[in-house]
Structure 1
Amino acid sequence: MRYLMTLLLLQIGLVIVQATVTSRRIESAELTCPDSAGAVLSSGSQADGLREACRSGPLAAPGKELVIVPAAVPDPAANWTGVPLGFNDPVYANVASGTRRIALSPDSSLTDVSIVENSGEPTITCDGSCNLTRVRIHSREGVRCISGDIKLTWVYIAATGVGDDHADGLQCYSPGSTGTVTIKNSTFKLAGATTAGYWSADNWRGSHVFENVLFEGGNHGLRIPADGGSSVSLKNVYFVRGSFRYSAFLFDAVNGRRINIAQWENVRWASWQGDKLVLGQPIPRP
């Protein structure tokens, strides 16, 4: 154990040494060295580790006190969230802008692209396996997934439904198809006439993996009925409290069963303080 020693010279000539413990919590608040006869004036479980300090240096004289101040334990919820915080997040500094919808053939990739359009049809369609990296979308309907291994990394989707729309940030739709959709470091923000930030149903049989993902707005942030996939995994997933019309997430029962929740780790409420995202209480596993 290492100690950071700060010497303070008092008017009465005594020296008090204050130490900050960085490796583990100390329960005893004060320790003193043995007197010249070897009697311990104040004891604790840390005393043996301080013998060297007592034999020499500022603690050598009897009666000097060592005050142990536990180091503050950082709150993991205060750490950087790893999601794009807006359409103009710095991660999109080098994107190429466009206004047309894109249909990706199987095994395609799309990187550093920004699309703003208002057709009401999916802005990007993945007809098979595809990779989207540093892509941002502002439209009435975000991404449509058909089948295959689909990966979204640092993707920001703002979908605003109009009139009779049932807008989704991402929808898996192709009855009988299967695949794996993996979403990392991404944000789904919905407004207007919507269904969900992420929606899969109608006998789409794949799995859904979320890591470092933020959901805000819409009827639901995340909605996957039992007929919308085989499993769902959530790690470091955040829902903006109070932004959803009905609920943050919904795993509908179909024929008496629900989708298998394979992982539920560090799923939390979140809120905005100005342009800063603040993580809140953990959400219990449903």
Structure 2
Amino acid sequence: MELQLLFDNLTNPALLFFFLGLLAVQLKSDLEIPANSSKFISIYLLFSIGFKGGQELSHETINAEILWSLVFGVVMALIVPIYSFFLLKKRLGVQNAGAIAAAYGSVSAVTFVTAVSFLEMQQIAFDGHMVAVMALMEAPSIVIGVLLMALFREESEHKVSFSHILKHSVTNGSVVLILGSLVIGFLASDKQAQGIEPFTTDIFKGFLAVFLLDMGITSGRKLSTFLKNGWFTLCFAVLVPLINGSVVAFVSQYITDNVGNQLLFSILAASASYIAVPAAMKLAAPKANPGIYIPMALAITFPLNITLGMPLYLSIIHLN
């Protein structure tokens, strides 16, 4: 791993605000971001990255690489939850295993956005169709998680309509917003896009920093509860993302020559959903413990990826 790259990432102001949030919790400070403000910033980040991705995509010619990238993303979203489920099922039970598997097969839009910021800081280009890849990876893992829970579900467990869960995962607000923004950005002309550029681009990093401050506060509050669950879940939340990201950092060279795209593939494979999946699991796995799968994704895997993960995956890509 390039130590300078790691140092640069650890001193990124947005990341330091994340650590400030963690510190505030440990100091028992009353610092917090109002819930409505946090929700607005989440909407803004998804809107901005989707719109900019659509703009980039409008300048690209649909070719075999783009199609293979979309297929590769969906395949990752199908494979990761399957093997994760069987690693977890014996120790944590069917519902907890299904919820965690779905979370780790799905993606974290915030991790993706942070990776985009990291690439811009490193002046590494990436293609707009990667936003579409991210959007397509959200739902398949939820579907796979539900299917696995249905296959191994005990007769006494709560039954939920599969069509209901499928609809919920596809119409989830984050999925609709990122896909909708992508389409709108694709349809907008360059002149029209320039009209809102101060909003979509100029203030992006500032909002990202405030959002990561909020994520730090949220993670800090959940961390103590999570640590009571033992070493197995902690090791899973650390090792599985690093393995997924490292393997994809190597394999993605066969999908695309673009270094930025390869890093984003790695981050998508390594990240875990803590927004869309928990919302779906309230219906699909009511007995699953959110005190396990949400902190795993948010308090462990998320900071791991944005500190050590991105420099590690980029170093592997450079070695290819």
Structure number with higher helix proportion: 2
Larger radius of gyration: 1
Fold equivalence (TM over 0.5): no
TM-score for the superposition, normalised by structure 2: 0.21
TM-score for the superposition, normalised by structure 1: 0.23
